[in-house]
Structure 1
């Protein structure tokens, strides 16, 4: 009788392969104790109401808010890490819901702060800083609030919005539970001919298989399963969009897009210029599809062929420790200090390595100001897993530098900067792998991986961004969006982006339904802009330009101490022009040339 391979349970994963959450709280009882402390102390935030025009009271408020926020962040990080270890674990799901609900209450308690600040004459803040110099570090933070004056509601409205924030984010939470915990997939045959249970976290392993039947079976099994929930998933996504459109309207923004970008001082034109630039260069992606079809010797190229390796080299199996060694070697150009931080992360329990049943799919970097960074992986021994490792460690080292060099108020970085450090790491790793490779076929394989990275991070993410803009604009115009509408538009985009050679299979129409980033409004385009900025940084570092590493590390240390475009510009990358994105597409074209001639 055929044996079906099942994923490991959480208990079967070795402790040394798990992240060290005990460095946040020793046990669940310690978490509960601090949660009760937070509840007791939180009421103190209300005593500053009506008194913020006095410098000392404003300073004391800011310190109290920081104290409470730091406790709340630790509680939230611990709860979501434990819940993501096994999304079917009801205890940790309850813990996560508990802190999320309370965070909404906490936000409501302090919701008077911004309306009160904005009720004072503009010169009040500057006078307070002159009177009390220890307020000076908060100048930029307060300036950002004042800049939002036209978009802040009255005190009661802000309090009401804050109190229902947990409800407004329910779509995202339900999506996560449905796709990670409740949704199950059929069994398929793997490359060895064994029947295995398909899980989201291992889908990439199958869709990159050299065996076309494995790719096709995994593709159909995944998207046909999503298709069974098409109406529910469409409702979840459109509900999320409606909530965001609602808030942008009541805050007097011209659009949801402006609402997302304006707080970081990013012009709407930067987003739209990115879409315009990619449309001007779709012929490059069409050329890639033609080359891939030829290299794979296919009469027809289907969507499930997109991730297939075009070079028939033996499938690599890279043990985790080997992956760590490749990371160290690939990131050597960043210097010894950076290497030391990487080693600290590997040795001190930052990383949760392997997939297990119920574990959240994908990968991320998490943590907060008072914890070490935490990296969730679903490592399955492929080269792509090594790339994911260096990507997430890029986020984590960015967080490490920021938290070590910025006060709490600026101890995080904006979404616009978030992907730059992670992708810089990927670019450096791939450069190292290509440079050291002497085998012609393996070198061509690696060149294809570079092409795939640009395809998926620039072309694909900007296609996502175009879809996201469509959903928001349709809702803003008062149109309803059904599952059919979403599938039809997704199908049209795929035909447009991949060109006439591609057979756009009907199953791909459901792909929008598995993108968790669509629940973080207007996030995905920043992968593309981040990739472009990262290419600029990597080129400066590899070319050993004067002070390149110093400027780059300065970027990593900056946190949110200035607007993101200013932070990047100080480090030598100007994102107000289309140059970085055009340069990246030029690299794509050069790699295509190389692939055809090497």
Structure 2
């Protein structure tokens, strides 16, 4: 079914409560594991319908944040999702404590029960008002970002549409664009500080209510860290500081020479060539068409996937002034359909949507018929491997998008991917410090960011910019507001995707075979076990990052 034809029905909370009340009672009284699992299948169907309606409403709201009907539906969803999550947790506790647990574990996996354990520790009825307030604060931040109207060269742009000027080949143009960008954030920084301060205090209070010392451990449980914890992440960041920060410093010097400047400034950030970064040669429609040709050639599985996405209008990728910024993939369980949201803006990022977000969507598509819902409850450090690896697996088709500059795109993408690793770790360490010390003032939080930038991005020179030089850059990073401790998942996935890059350069077919195997494994096993199963190394083990940094250095 085409997305435009999919009906939306507001979730009836009386119906939801009634369903869960009966389900919980029936499940408690089940006389066998088989009977309990049959009841669980009813849960799958009901939750799929709820989830589908919620995604449709939020997706349509994101496509036009000024549209009144779906704006109200989005507010309603912010209110009801914590309640649904609590009911879901209460039901899963029944499974967790079931006398037939061995049978159920055999059906839905040990991973699922570990996830239930973490969910049980993450929510309670007494924190629902705080969770609702948290959702409202996030939506308030999103509205500030989505409603940005930035004057530049006689026109008005939102953040997504301004981006092409931030990486313009003309240095003066991008300097003025960064100034306009900075001035917008400077105009709203106090408001963003206030929102974030409330978020930090809100989340810290949730943690206290649930018996935690601070939000960090609760944040890990909310992110379903079922196979590693803080110590492993800290060791990973330490390896990145030792191996990737020096490598990225070398990349910055190479980039300085390539763009022909005496000193790199912040407005040179993410610019890789003197004549500008490679940009797609076609229109948005032509980019999508090239994507379809690429996936038809890559494999039978990707061909079927992309044709399905195209035929059912499951892309909304055109940038618009009232559209939420960013990009993501979601999944409509009722229709077994992935859906992709993005903001094309004429930069190489448009092609990254066709590779990265389609990597997510492809994985969702190949596992769409698995009746065990828990098998697709993928934790993010695994989910991001699917997307980031697809960026590398599609390198051979970049001429379809960039023409004669395809080689430059590949070089830029690889350098940018390596450069991202320290930045992602910096975002993660920032959040650990912030939630370890929720009493910090907004000014002190910006000082924390400034100090971390010296450690992770020592080459950056903000000159005397009033916003960025005072430690404000993090306010543009939505993940810090949306999902605490999510961002490190991108980094963990990125270094695994780089392992696939090394592998495919030696044996593309063998690497693709193991990538497809990883996609199909989904969430059936724990993170490091799945990596080992498909022949990849854990990022947490000493030596993995040092070896990888050496291998990637050789490629650039």
User: What TM-score results when the alignment is normalised by the length of structure 1?
Assistant: 0.81
Superposition deviation, residue 307 in structure 1: 1.9
Q: 1:146 to 1:359 in 2, by over 3 A?
A: closer
1:103 aligns with 2:78: no
Per-residue CA distance 1:333-391 (angstroms, 9 max, x = gap): 85222222122222321111211120111211112322311111211333331122211
Is residue 554–residue 571 contact of structure 1 (8 Å, CA) maintained in 2? Answer: yes
1:416 aligns with 2:381: yes
- Cα distance in structure 2, aligned partners of 1:79 and 1:445: 36
- Cα distance in structure 2, aligned partners of 1:501 and 1:177: 29
Q: How does 1:11-26 map to 2 (within 5 A)?
A: 20-25=2-7
In the alignment, which residue of structure 2 is the partner of 1:224? 183
Is residue 258–residue 273 contact of structure 2 (8 Å, CA) maintained in 1? Answer: yes
Is residue 180–residue 358 contact of structure 1 (8 Å, CA) maintained in 2? Answer: yes
Q: Secondary structure at the match of 1:532?
A: helix
Superposition deviation, residue 398 in structure 1: 1.2
Is residue 430–residue 450 contact of structure 1 (8 Å, CA) maintained in 2? Answer: no
Superposition deviation, residue 404 in structure 1: 2.4
Is residue 101–residue 166 contact of structure 1 (8 Å, CA) maintained in 2? Answer: yes
Is residue 165–residue 174 contact of structure 2 (8 Å, CA) maintained in 1? Answer: yes
- Cα distance in structure 2, aligned partners of 1:503 and 1:511: 10
Per-residue CA distance 1:377-433 (angstroms, 9 max, x = gap): 211333331122211111111111232235223233111212111111112233554
Unaligned runs of 5+ in 1: 1-18, 190-194, 593-598
In the alignment, which residue of structure 2 is the partner of 1:45? 20
In the alignment, which residue of structure 2 is the partner of 1:485? 444
1:339 aligns with 2:303: yes
Work out which of the residue numbers 81, 85, 91 in structure 2 matches 1:113: 91
Unaligned runs of 5+ in 2: none
In the alignment, which residue of structure 1 is the partner of 2:195? 236
1:461 aligns with 2:424: yes
Greater Rg, structure 1 or structure 2?
1
Q: How does 1:266-281 map to 2 (within 5 A)?
A: 266-281=228-243
Q: 1:529 to 1:107 in 2, by over 3 A?
A: closer
Q: 1:79 to 1:346 in 2, by over 3 A?
A: same
- Cα distance in structure 1, aligned partners of 2:116 and 2:330: 30
1:172 aligns with 2:138: yes
Superposition deviation, residue 492 in structure 1: 2.7
- Cα distance in structure 1, aligned partners of 2:172 and 2:230: 44
In the alignment, which residue of structure 2 is the partner of 1:363? 327
Q: 1:355 to 1:332 in 2, by over 3 A?
A: same
1:557 aligns with 2:548: no
1:306 aligns with 2:269: yes
Work out which of the residue numbers 417, 439, 452 in structure 1 matches 2:416: 452
Q: 1:582 to 1:339 in 2, by over 3 A?
A: farther
Is residue 351–residue 375 contact of structure 1 (8 Å, CA) maintained in 2? Answer: yes
Superposition deviation, residue 145 in structure 1: 5.7
Is residue 27–residue 36 contact of structure 2 (8 Å, CA) maintained in 1? Answer: yes
- Cα distance in structure 2, aligned partners of 1:65 and 1:360: 32
Q: Secondary structure at the match of 1:169?
A: helix
Q: Secondary structure at the match of 1:352?
A: strand
Q: 1:22 to 1:433 in 2, by over 3 A?
A: closer
Is residue 77–residue 368 contact of structure 1 (8 Å, CA) maintained in 2? Answer: yes
- Cα distance in structure 1, aligned partners of 2:298 and 2:280: 26
Q: Secondary structure at the match of 1:392?
A: helix
Q: Secondary structure at the match of 1:301?
A: coil
Work out which of the residue numbers 155, 159, 169 in structure 2 matches 1:210: 169
Q: 1:91 to 1:42 in 2, by over 3 A?
A: same
- Cα distance in structure 2, aligned partners of 1:564 and 1:232: 39
Superposition deviation, residue 251 in structure 1: 4.1
Q: 1:447 to 1:40 in 2, by over 3 A?
A: closer
Q: Secondary structure at the match of 2:394?
A: helix
Is residue 406–residue 559 contact of structure 1 (8 Å, CA) maintained in 2? Answer: no
Q: 1:491 to 1:203 in 2, by over 3 A?
A: farther
> Please, which moves more after superposition, 230-239 or 258-267?
258-267
Work out which of the residue numbers 370, 376, 380 in structure 2 matches 1:405: 370
1:69 aligns with 2:52: no
Q: Secondary structure at the match of 1:88?
A: coil
- Cα distance in structure 1, aligned partners of 2:294 and 2:544: 23
Q: 1:331 to 1:497 in 2, by over 3 A?
A: farther
Per-residue CA distance 1:27-64 (angstroms, 9 max, x = gap): x5xx24xx34x643541321355665543474465344
Is residue 258–residue 272 contact of structure 2 (8 Å, CA) maintained in 1? Answer: no
User: What TM-score results when the alignment is normalised by the length of structure 2?
Assistant: 0.87
Q: 1:578 to 1:378 in 2, by over 3 A?
A: farther
Work out which of the residue numbers 340, 350, 356 in structure 2 matches 1:385: 350
Q: 1:207 to 1:591 in 2, by over 3 A?
A: farther
Per-residue CA distance 1:148-195 (angstroms, 9 max, x = gap): 59x648xxx8222346532232221111112113x322x212xxxxx3
Is residue 301–residue 502 contact of structure 1 (8 Å, CA) maintained in 2? Answer: yes
Is residue 461–residue 527 contact of structure 1 (8 Å, CA) maintained in 2? Answer: yes
Give the paired residue count.
Answer: 542
Q: Secondary structure at the match of 2:378?
A: coil
Q: Secondary structure at the match of 1:367?
A: strand
> Please, which moves more after superposition, 371-380 or 404-413?
404-413
Q: Secondary structure at the match of 1:375?
A: strand
- Cα distance in structure 2, aligned partners of 1:146 and 1:342: 33
Q: 1:220 to 1:111 in 2, by over 3 A?
A: same
- Cα distance in structure 2, aligned partners of 1:448 and 1:152: 43
- Cα distance in structure 1, aligned partners of 2:41 and 2:401: 52
1:511 aligns with 2:493: no
- Cα distance in structure 2, aligned partners of 1:55 and 1:573: 42
- Cα distance in structure 2, aligned partners of 1:437 and 1:365: 24
Is residue 333–residue 542 contact of structure 1 (8 Å, CA) maintained in 2? Answer: no
Q: Secondary structure at the match of 1:366?
A: strand
- Cα distance in structure 2, aligned partners of 1:106 and 1:448: 44
Is residue 495–residue 502 contact of structure 1 (8 Å, CA) maintained in 2? Answer: no
Q: Secondary structure at the match of 1:377?
A: strand
Is residue 491–residue 504 contact of structure 1 (8 Å, CA) maintained in 2? Answer: no
* C-alpha RMSD of the superposition: 3.3
